[in-house]
Structure formats: C-alpha cells, structure tokens
Amino acid sequence: MRRKFLGGNWKMNGLKSGLTALLTAVIQQLKDLATVEVAVFPSDVYLESMGNLLKAQHSAIALGGQNHCDHEEGAYTGETAPGMLQDIGCRYVLLGHSERRHTFGESNRVIARKFALAKQHHLIPVLCVGETEMQRDIGETEAVVREQINAVVNEVGINALAKAIIAYEPVWAIGTGKIATAEAVQEMHAMIRKHLANSDHDIAQNIQIIYGGSLKPQNAKDIFVLPDVDGGLVGGASLKAEDFTALAKLLAS
Ligand code: PGA
C-alpha cells in the first residue's frame, strides 16, 4: 500500500509571524493524524524557525525546501546548496516546479542534475512535471511529461526513484482555480506509472504520484479517490490552516 502524501508549498508568501501562526494551527489540527505523510515547504529564509517549531511541538509534519542549486557548493551567490537543506533538517525538496521551469527557465537537464544531488544528500525529491495549456491543446501532454521524467531517469537511473515522489501538476491548473477533470488526472497518473513500469515494475507500483493544481477541500474529494493518486501538492490552499488540514483529513478518510 502506498502511503498518502500532502505537501504545502508556501512559495514566496507570508512573513515569519503569520507563517508561525499558520504552522502552529496546522500542527494542532493534525496532531492525531498518523496515516498521511504531511510536509510543509517554506521559503529557505524560514526553514530553520519552522523546523524548530515542528521539533518543539514534537510534530510528525516534515520539512521540505522549495528548490536547491544544481551545484554542490561554492561561488553561486543567492543559491542554496542541497547539503544545506539536509543540514537544516529538510526531508524533502521540490524539484522542477512549474514556476522554476517557466519563470526561472530551468531545463530538464538542470532539474535532472538537481535530482542527482538531492539523492546524494539524502533528500527525498518531489519531482514536479506537467504540461502547459498550449502543449495540452496540441496533444503533446503525454510526450512532455514522459520527457520530463526520462531526463531524470537517464541521469540517475530508475533505482533512484525508489525513494522519490512525482507530482503531476498541469501548468494551466496552478494558481488559476482551474482543476483538471478527475478522468484526465487518473489518465495521466496511470500513464506515468505505466511509463515507469517499462523500466521497473516494483518502483512504478510503489512510487507516490501526487496531483497539484488548484486543489481545495471543495474539489479534492473526486481527485483523492482516484486509484493512481497518492496525495496532493497544494499552493494557495496551504496558506489557510483550515483548508490545508481539511485536505489532509480528506486524504486520511
Ligand atoms: P496551487 O499551487 O494549489 O495554488 O494551484 C500548486 C503548486 O504550485 O504546487
């Protein structure tokens, strides 16, 4: 049985006091929820203080970085090393989020290098993949997603995906309020699993494939029941304790 996963990607939102209040409420409301793996992804600036808060409350909620550099260390002003995320207590790191790919121009190759470094530093990569609206319109959805996954598998080998998560996030659904239909989500998740099974059947069966893009308690029910959906990656709704915890409880039900 694959464990359910819920990630809260806070992106570049909030300041310390508000985020502390948010996390405190989330910790309280989820303290009896053991069946879902929950992680929050604050900005690097707040990782340490949020990590300290989780520790002080003996919370099972994990900490993750939103990104790291594709180099190990050195003269890369403004960047964060993968080892720094590990050092500060991160268990996860988001890689290849659509905002990294499309706003900051990260290529499949760069993301694959980051994935290799994350594994070297014992971080669990949450590899984000997904097509733009234009790619969907011209029928390239599956090819685009396969290519995003192949870039990583070619760099690190299929075994490196044994401890990783894939987040399918159609770019046009992120932050837009538009959500993919349940049918389309199941189709893509099953396609991803089948594609991985060509390289390794067990890894394909065991990997958590989560959905992201405008998830809210009101629309998640239809998505979370799908057989190949193992959880969610949440942006906007993760900034409201009520919504985020409702999503976690939905996953647990
Ligand atoms: P959203 O973001 O939930 O605000 O659409 C999802 C994401 O960026 O992971």
Interval between CA 244 and ligand 1 midpoint (Å): 12
- DSSP, residue by residue, 103-140: TS---HHHHHHHHHHHHHTT-EEEEEE---HHHHHTT-
The domains of the chain are located at: 4-252
Atom of ligand 1 nearest to the CA of 213: 5
Percent with pLDDT over 90 in the chain: 98
Q: In this predicted model, what pLDDT tens digit does every residue of 136-165 receive, in sequence order?
A: 999 999 999 999 999 999 999 999 999 999
Q: In this predicted model, what pLDDT tens digit does every residue of 75-124 receive, in sequence order?
A: 999 999 999 999 999 999 999 999 999 999 999 999 999 999 999 999 99
| Nearest-angstrom CA–CA distance, 8 and 10 | 6
> Is residue 169 annotated as a catalytic residue, yes or no?
yes
Please tell me the residue having the least CA distance from ligand 1 atom 6. 235
Is 43 in a helix, a strand, or coil? coil
Interval between CA 75 and ligand 1 midpoint (Å): 32
The half-sphere exposure of 117 on its side-chain side, counting CA atoms within 13 A, is: 23
**What pLDDT is stored for residue 19 in this prediction?**
98
Residue ranges around ligand 1 (CB below 6 Å): 9, 169, 174-175, 212-215, 233-237
Instruction: Supply 208's token pair.
Output: 């958590």
Selecting among 37, 68, 97, 131, the annotated active-site residue is: 97
Task: Give, for 4, the enclosing helix (H) or strand (E).
Answer: strand 4-9
Atom of ligand 1 nearest to the CA of 128: 9
Residue 1 pLDDT class (50, 70, 90 cuts): confident
C-alpha closest to that of 229 among 195, 184, 198? 184
C-alpha closest to that of 232 among 154, 168, 138, 148? 168
Query: For residues 172 and 136, is the Cβ–Cβ distance under 8 A?
Result: yes
Please tell me the residue having the least CA distance from ligand 1 atom 8. 235
Q: Which of 215, 238, 244 to mutate to test the pocket of ligand 1 (most atoms within 8 A of CB)?
A: 215
Beta bridge partners of 232: 6, 211
Interval between CA 237 and ligand 1 midpoint (Å): 8
Instruction: Tell if the pTM clears 0.95, that is, is over it.
Output: yes
Is 9 in a helix, a strand, or coil? strand
- DSSP, residue by residue, 61-103: -EEEES---SSSSSS-TT---HHHHHHTT--EEEES-HHHHHT
Q: State the average pLDDT over residues 155-181.
A: 95
Interval between CA 161 and ligand 1 midpoint (Å): 23
Q: State the average pLDDT over residues 197-220.
A: 97
Please give the C-alpha separations between residue 136 and each of 129, 179, 188, in angstroms, as whole numbers: 13, 14, 12
Which CATH number is associated with domain 4-252?
A: 3.20.20.70
